[in-house]
Chains A and B, each alone.
Chain A
Amino acid sequence: MFLIKNLMFFITSALLINTANAGWLDLNMPEGVTDISQEVFDLHMLILWICVVIGVIVFGAMFWSIFMHRKSRGVTPAQFHESTSLEFLWTVVPFVILIGMAIPATKTLIKMYDHSDSEIHIKITGYQWLWQYEYLNTNVSFYSKLSTPYNEIYNKQEKNINYLQEVDNQLIVPVNKKIRFLLTSNDVLHAWWVPDLALKKDAIPGYINEMSVVINEPGIYRGRCAELCGRHHGFMPIVIKAVDEDEYEEWITASEAKISGVAKVNK
């Protein structure tokens, strides 16, 4: 009895720890903090569940067959083959399901391609291996690169919780405003990806790519370069800090003043 009680306790506590530390969301796509990222997440789950249902039906039929229609059970094999109606059915039904997937996917895609009415414009340039952010219509511009110490990378020092996803200068943006990113590269291909914002696009030399976002919640969101760009491809993270509008205005004014101050001194 004591043993069973202990066992029960052990199992429940293990489950609790699991749900607390490594919940379902850690294994899944983040729902993110924008309306579109939520739509993308819903789309992902919709397709996943459709696949699961189809999988259960198809594999179910297959395993039923594997267990019931085996020679060791003394069955004689049927000899049927070809059935126009069945073949028609299993061509048309998947087609209809696909249309059901394509409609919401296209709707979301059209929204993602709408960059109109953006209020803030930021140009992002990829370099081997750092990012440059330029706030257009202001003079604010800075580089952002990995700040994790080499000692942590080479295992000489314990790794901190934001290992490989921390930078020296964070990209600061306001919440609830439409931000348009213009994306290009100075050398090889890069890709700017922040999962929580459902934004990923390639930075290509000679091209200017566009994407836009409205962030709903203040917070720090971390991303990475997603296109192989050479030796330090794994070491060019993105950290974006979304703040209230007032705080953003304050920050941008201060940064502008600081930069023009430096410019004056240099003159």
Chain B
Amino acid sequence: MSSVVNDTHHEEHPSGIMRWITTTNHKDIGTLYLWFAMIMFFIGGLMALVIRSELFQPGLQFVDPQFFNSMTTMHALVMIFGVVMPAFTGLANWMIPIMIGGPDMALPRMNNWSFWILPFAFSMLLSTLWMDGGAPAGGWTLYPPLSLQTGDAFPFLIFAIHFMGLSSIMGAINVVATILNMRAPGMTLMKMPLFVWTWLITAFLLIAVMPVLAGGVTMLLTDKFFGTSFFNAAGGGDPVMFQHIFWFFGHPEVYILILPSFGVVSAIIPTFARKPLFGYSSMVYATASIAFLSFIVWAHHMFTVGMPLAGEVFFMFATMLIAVPTGVKVFNWVTTMWKGAMTFETPMLFAIGFIIMFTIGGFSGLMLAITPADFQYHDTYFVVAHFHYVLVPGSIFAIMAACYFWLPKWTGNMYPETLGKIHFWLSTFFVNLTFFPMHFVGLAGMPRRIPDYSLQFADYNMIASIGAFGFGFAQLIFLYLIIKTIKGGKKATDQVWEGAEGLEWTLSSPPPYHSFNTPPAIK
């Protein structure tokens, strides 16, 4: 058959830098995405350390308040659009074709383009740090009128967001097309691994909401440069409308940042418990319910804008409802562990850490849903604690769990287990040292996004800053460990983990450059 000839032809690819620039291979593009996220992780982390240095003690010590505001704004944009989203897209690129028994992503050339937009988008965003008027300092939420006070950086910010959105939408279309068209015969939707399911739903969320963000920021652009008054009250516009548009994107966005983690954790827990996932179909339905609910809760970010009572009540109830499907997920993971035969390699540790700390973030989320109490929590460090609990030991831990879990498969080498465990324990200790005290200062009255604070908040801010530096430096272990594993190490078996199930473990470690050119047989 001609497929043999084709196989050898396709194994050839340019070497050196051209391999990476011209690649249409899903594994190469996945690797690019993951490395991009890693670089951005350290850049965004550096910004976080600037913030925590300034907040180490009361008084202004290191930076100007305007630059401080730029740091909080840029830290958020880099971490959300430059770290978590590309990292999950990288995992999707690497794993989805393999998991469904397909040869590659459905749209390989577009795949190349969606990655290569990102370095340009972020060069543009980061270049604003050196512009007149400084980098954007109005918060990542870009609320007008403040965001319209941005200097020369403004159009660069808007176009950078357009590019990021373009990249995400194309990535999402690719994921949907791949999952719906490239499955091996017999791989029915309800046989797909949960990581594929969560990503399918995430991709639909992305396609639905990224254009909304693009529209919103374009309206900001025309307000600033072309004399429109979409959000300008003096011209008959409405500043609150921007917040509605933004959070109609922003709330599904937070599920875009977390749903793939659910998929990762649902792959890891059964593997190391050596026991099937407790409720596969209920996990799928719970994910779909969360995605649906994410569209009707956006205004809980805006409880203090002065909505009518009926609006507040509706968004409170809808938000509280999310606790039900989220609870279903957590209960499922716990019952999967129940009566299993568990071992605790690094991916399992990160997955368990994820469940516990994500649930803590879920609890504070439930508290935030209670509108009268939210009037006290809103825009304080309590909120900062909440979303960092769901994003750092949530999304980021899940990404790290996924890296440890699949690294032996990707590289063919086992990572150093002890070092991985050290990385986990240091990260867990410091992440809690950083973010747990923030609950307290928030409740005690410290607003977010301030460069200086009154004296009663001093102790806990100092603790949080120490934690942040500890967490930041602990991540150098992660970087070292990954480079070391790529370079060599104990050879991994194809199965890698004793309890691992799924198509990726039937391939060699590392897998061939092109896998499943002939579809595998699905049981």
B470 touches A (CB below 8 Å): no
Pick from B58, B280, B321, B444: contact of A98, CB under 8 Å: B321
- How many residue pairs between the two chains, A and B, have CB atoms under 8 Å in the bound complex? 275
Is the pair A59, B356 in contact by a Cβ cutoff of 8 Å? yes
Measured in the bound complex, the distance between the Cα atoms of B376 and A112 in whole Å is 13
Asked if A51 and B363 sit within 8 Å, CB to CB, the answer is yes
CB distance from A74 to the nearest CB of B (A): 8
Given known contacts A105-B373, A163-B58, A234 and B451 CB-to-CB distance under 8 angstroms: yes
Residue of A65, A207, A225 near B233 (CB, 8 A) is A207
- Whether, in the assembled complex, A30 has its beta carbon less than 8 Å from a beta carbon of chain B, the answer is yes
Those of B33-58 within 8 Å (CB) of chain A: 58
A113 interfacial contact with B, CB 8 Å: yes
A207–chain B nearest beta-carbon distance, Å: 7
A191 and B331 alpha carbons, distance in the complex (Å): 39
Whether A95 pairs with B324 at a CB distance below 8 angstroms is yes
Choose, from A8-16, A116-124, A193-201, A248-256, the stretch at the interface. A193-201
B116-124, B142-150, B168-176, B254-262: which lies at the interface: B142-150
B14 on the interface (CB 8 Å rule)?
Answer: no
Q: Which one of B61, B64, B237, B240 has the highest number of Cβ atoms from chain A below 10 Å of its Cβ?
A: B240
On chain A, the number of residues with a Cβ less than 8 Å from chain B's Cβ atoms is 92
Q: B234 to chain A: which residues have CB within 8 Å?
A: 205-206
Q: What residues on A are CB-neighbors of B64 within 8 Å?
A: 231
Contacts A71-B274, A163-B454 hold; do A199 and B375 have CB atoms under 8 A apart?
A: yes
Q: Say yes or no: is A39 at the interface (Cβ < 8 Å to chain B).
A: yes
Q: Nearest residue in B to A237 (C-beta to C-beta)?
A: B454
Chain B: minimal CB distance from A67 (Å): 10
Give Cα A47 to B369, complex, Å: 10
Alpha-carbon separation in the docked complex, A177 to B316 (Å): 30
Complex alpha-carbon distance, A87 and B327, angstroms: 11
Contact partners of A106 in chain B: CB under 8 A: 313, 316
The stretch among B81-89, B177-185, B340-348 that forms the contact with chain A is B340-348
Interface membership of chain A positions 168-207, coded 1 if the CB is closer than 8 angstroms to chain B and 0 otherwise? 0000000000000001000111010101001111101111
- By beta carbon, the residue of chain B nearest A205 is B233
With an 8 A cutoff between CB atoms, is A69 at the interface?
Answer: yes
Q: A26 at interface (Cβ–Cβ under 8 A)?
A: yes
- Is A43's CB within 8 Å of the partner chain B? yes
In the complex, what residues of B have CB within 8 A of residue A2's CB? Answer: none
**Which A residues are within 8 Å of any B CB, using their own CB?**
22, 26-30, 36, 39-40, 43-44, 47-48, 51, 54-55, 58-59, 61-62, 65-66, 69-72, 75-83, 86-87, 90-91, 94-95, 98, 101-102, 105-106, 108-110, 112-113, 152-155, 159, 161-165, 183, 187-189, 191, 193, 195, 198-202, 204-207, 209-210, 223-235
9 sampled A-B residue pairs with Cβ under 8 A: A28-B440, A44-B376, A69-B337, A69-B341, A90-B327, A163-B454, A165-B454, A195-B445, A228-B146
Q: Which residues of B contact A (CB under 8 A)?
A: 58-61, 64-66, 69, 137-139, 143, 145-146, 149, 233-234, 237-240, 273-282, 304-306, 309, 312-313, 316-317, 320-321, 323-324, 327-328, 330-331, 334-344, 352, 355-356, 359-360, 363, 366-367, 370-373, 375-376, 378-380, 440, 443-445, 447-456, 459
- Beyond A98-B323, A224-B447, 10 additional pairs, beta carbon < 8 A: A55-B363, A82-B282, A90-B327, A94-B327, A112-B372, A154-B60, A187-B145, A227-B304, A231-B65, A234-B65
The 6 residue pairs across chains A and B that have the minimum distance between CB atoms:
A206-B233, A234-B450, A209-B306, A51-B363, A78-B339, A77-B341
